[in-house]
Structure 1
C-alpha cells in the first residue's frame, strides 16, 4: 500500500476566519417564518378568511388558494436553502440545510397536491360538473395551466426520486441530474400565478412580495451556484498535479493553481468538483480536502463508490478542475481550545485529518478514533504516525465488521461494551472535549448519540455526514 508523506503544518489558504455570528441562525429562521406569515396575511387581505364562512365550493376554493400560496412560498424557500448562499451555508451547514431542504420539499409538494385537489373540487362544485372534467378544463382553458402541469410533472419526478427507496437504487450522478428538474418545475409554475392567481396579482403589495421572492431565489442561484463558481474556477485555475493511490479503493489527487492563498477555504471543508477529462465532466461530486490547505496545493482523497469517483484514479496531470465552494461547517472556528476527540469512519477520516493539521492543541490533548473494516482499509498511516510523533495525537483504530446490535458505531469485537462505555475507554477526556464526527449517515448518528451518553456537551459536537 502506498501512502503520502505527511506535510508539516502550513498556513491555511484562506487565512483566519472569524466565527459565524450566533444571531445569523435566528435571523434565518425568523425570515422563513415571516415569509409564511406574509403569504397568509395576503390571503386574508384578499378575503380568503371570509370565504371560509360561505358555501362549501367557495370555502374549498379559498383553502386551495392558501395551500397553493404556502406551497409556492416553501418551494422558493427550498431553492434558497440550497442556493449555497454563504451567509446561510455558514450559519447552518450543508447537513442541516439538506435535511430542511428535504422537509420543505415534501411539505411543499403535499401542499401543492392539496391545492390542485381543493381547487378542482371547489370549481366543480360551483359549476355543478364532474371533478375530472373540471380539472381537464382548468388545464386546457386557463392561461398558464399547461405550463404549470408540466412543472408539476417535473416536481413529481423530483419528489419520487428523492424518496429513500428510490435513492438507494439510483447512482449519485443520475439522482443529481434528475434533481435539477426542480428548477424547471419552479420556473414553469410562475406563469399561471401571474395570469390566474388572484392572490399573486390582486394588489401592488402581493406583486411586490412575490416578484421580490422569485427574484431573490433566481438571483441566489445565478450568483452562488453559477457566477461565483465560474469566477473562482477562472481565477484560481486549478489543475491536477499528481494522482497517488492511498490504499484499497482510495486515490488522492493533488491540485495546484493560481493565488490559492486567496481561496477562502478551511480545513474540514469540501468542494463540488468537476474535472474536464471528457464526457460526464458536467456532473459535480462533493469531495472534502484531505489535507490542511496549503498556499500552493490542495488535496482530495476519493473512495471508489461509483462512476464519478472511479474515474478520479485515471485523471492525468494537467487536467483542469472546476470548483464550487468551499462548503461545510466542520472547521476550526468551533474549537474553543482544550481537548479534542475525533471520530471517523472510512473515508470520513479525510476532513478530520485536514483539521488535525490546522487545529491548535497541546500534545496528548487530541484523540482520533478511526473506524475501518480491516487493516487494509486504513489509509494515511504515514500521516497518522507523523501526527502521533510530532503533535502527540492519540490514534485508536477500531477494526472489524459492524456490531450486530444496531444502531451502533462500534465493530462486533466491542460487543461486550455499550457505545458510551467504549467511547469513554477510547477517549477518557470526552466530557471536556470538542467532538468532531464524520462518516456515513447512520454511523454518524450512532456516534453522536454515544458522545452525548458519554458526557460530551451537545453544542460542542460537530458532525459532517457523507450522504446524499
Structure 2
C-alpha cells in the first residue's frame, strides 16, 4: 500500500467538543461582562476611574478563568491535554499581570486628577483602607509569580522552588475575593449581576477544589499506592515501580504522567511531574527520572514500602489523539520515558519509526528496552548521537525527511529538552505536517 492511499483515522470528536465548549464558555462570559459595564451601580469619578473599573472587572474575570485552567479537570485534560491548558494558563497569567498594573494605575490617576495630587501620594491614603491594602498585597504577589515565570528566570530556578512560589496563587485568590467583596461595584448593578458574578467564582473555586483536592484525595485513599522497587538504570537515572489496589480503575494510558509525592521522604509541597516509562498494565506503574533536582536525586534512596501520593493521570500525549495509521516517535534524553511507554502500547498499530537523540550512546537511557520493543513491534529505531552543530542537525527539515520520507503521512510524538522539541516542531511546520498530527509534551506545568 503506498503512502498516498494509507487510511486516515477519524479525528476524535471529543477533543473538538471540548474546544467548542471552552470557547463558548469564554465568549458567553465575556459578553455578559461587557453588558455589566454598560450600566454600573454607581457612576465613576471621571474617565480615568471608568477605565480603571473596566480593567478591574476584566481582571476579576481573568482570575476566575485562571482557576479553571489550573483546576486539572479530567474532562478538559483528557481531551485537550494539561500541557496545552498550562500554556494558556501562562498567557492568561501575563494578561493578569498587566491588568494588575493598569487597573490600580488608572484608579490612582482618576483620584489624583481633580486635586492635581501626585499619583504616588494617593497610594498611602488608599492603602489605609483594608480592602485596598489587600488588593495591593495581591498585586505584589502576582508580580512575584510573574517574575519567576519569565523564561530566563524559570530556567535557573529549581522546579521545587518554582512550584512552591506558585502556591502563592492561592493567597492571591483569597485576597482577590475579599477585595472584590468590598470594592467591586461593576458587578453590583442588581441582584442578577451579583448572582452571576459570584456564581462564576463559585464555579471556578469549586472546579479547583474538585480537581486539585477532592479527586486526588479520593483516588489515593482508594488505591493506596506504595513503592514496590527502585531500580538504577544509569548512574544518574532511576526507575521507581509503584503498586496499589485496583490501579486499572485509574484508566491511565501510555504517554501520560502523574504528579508524584512521597510523604515521609519529601515535604508535602515537593511535587514533580514524571511520565510513566512503561505502559500501565493495571497492576503497577513505573516512573523513570534523572537526578536533576533535590527530589529526583533522592529517588534512589526511597525505601521499598514508602507511601506514594500521585495526582493524575494527566495529559493527552496518548495514542487516542492519532489521526493517521503510521507513527513517528521522537525522544531526546530523559524525554524517552513517555516515548518508550507509547512504543509498548498495543493500540499504537501501523508502521512505527523511533528517533532517539542523545549526546553519546552511554546517555541512551532504556535503550535495551527500546530495542527489544522495536523488535517485537516491527518498528525501526534510529539512535542519533553527537553534539548538535552545523554539520550534525538531525532534526532539520531536510534530515527529518531523509530519515522518514513519509513524515507528512504520520502522527509525530516528540518529548525531550525544550530546545530539541522546539526545533522538531519548527521543522514539522516547515515540512507542512498538519497541526493535528503534531503531539508534544513539554511539562509547562501550572502551580
Counterpart of 2:416?
A: 439
In structure 2, relative to structure 1, the CA distance for the partners of 1:279 and 1:287 (3 Å cut) is closer
User: 1:250 pairs with 231, 237, 241, which one?
Assistant: 237
SS of residue paired to 1:31: helix
Give yes or no for the alignment of 1:375 onto 2:361.
Answer: yes
- In structure 2, relative to structure 1, the CA distance for the partners of 1:275 and 1:182 (3 Å cut) is same
1:49-64, aligned counterparts within 5 Å?
Answer: 58-64=46-52
CA contact (8 A) 1:275 1:322 kept: yes
Q: Which runs of 5+ in 2 are unaligned?
A: 1-11
User: 1:292-331 alignment to 2 at 5 Å?
Assistant: 292-331=279-318
**TM-score, reference length from structure 2:** 0.92
Residue 153 (1) aligns with residue 153 (2): no
Please tell me whether the aligned partners of residues 439 and 466 of structure 1 are also in contact (alpha carbons under 8 angstroms).
no
Q: Please, which of 38, 51, 71 is the counterpart of residue 83 of structure 1?
A: 71
Q: Map Cα deviations across residues 279-314 of structure 1 (whole Å, 9 max, x no partner).
A: 424311000000010121110100111111101111
SS at 1:326's partner residue?
A: strand
1:279 and 1:342 mapped to 2: Cα distance? 34
- For 1:442 and 1:381, how far apart are their aligned partners in 2? 22
Give the aligned partner of residue 9 of structure 1.
none
Q: How does 1:300-449 map to 2 (within 5 A)?
A: 300-336=287-323, 338-360=325-347, 365-404=351-390, 412=391, 414-415=392-393, 419-449=396-426
Q: What SS does the aligned partner of 1:313 have?
A: helix
Structure 1: unaligned runs, 5 residues or longer: 1-17, 52-56, 405-411
CA deviation string 1:409-430 (max 9, x = no partner): xxx5x35x78122112222331
What secondary structure sits across from 2:242 in the alignment?
A: strand
- SS of the residue 1:108 aligns to: helix
CA RMSD, Structure 1 to Structure 2 (Å): 2.0
Q: Identify the residue that residue 198 of structure 2 maps to in structure 1.
A: 211
Alpha-carbon distance in structure 2 between the residues aligned to 1:90 and 1:75? 23
CA-CA distance at 1:360 after TM superposition: 3.6
* Structure 1 residue 361, shift from structure 2 partner: 5.3
SS in 1 for 2:178: helix
Q: Within 2, Cα distance between the matches of 1:422 and 1:335?
A: 24
Q: Select 2:36's aligned residue among 20, 33, 42.
A: 42
After superposing on structure 2, the runs of 4+ consecutive aligned residues of structure 1 that deviate more than 4 Å are none
Compared CA separation, residues 248 and 399, structure 1 to 2 (3 A):
farther
Larger displacement relative to structure 2 (25-34 or 265-274): 25-34
What TM-score does the superposition give when structure 1 sets the normalisation length? Answer: 0.88
The corresponding residue for 2:6 is: none
Deviation at 1:337, TM superposition (A): 5.2
**Among candidates 4, 11, 20, match of residue 26 of structure 1:** 20
> Quick check: 1:291 aligned with 2:278?
yes
- Is the partner of 2:66 in helix, strand or coil? helix
CA–CA distance in structure 2, aligned partners of residues 337 and 169 of structure 1: 39
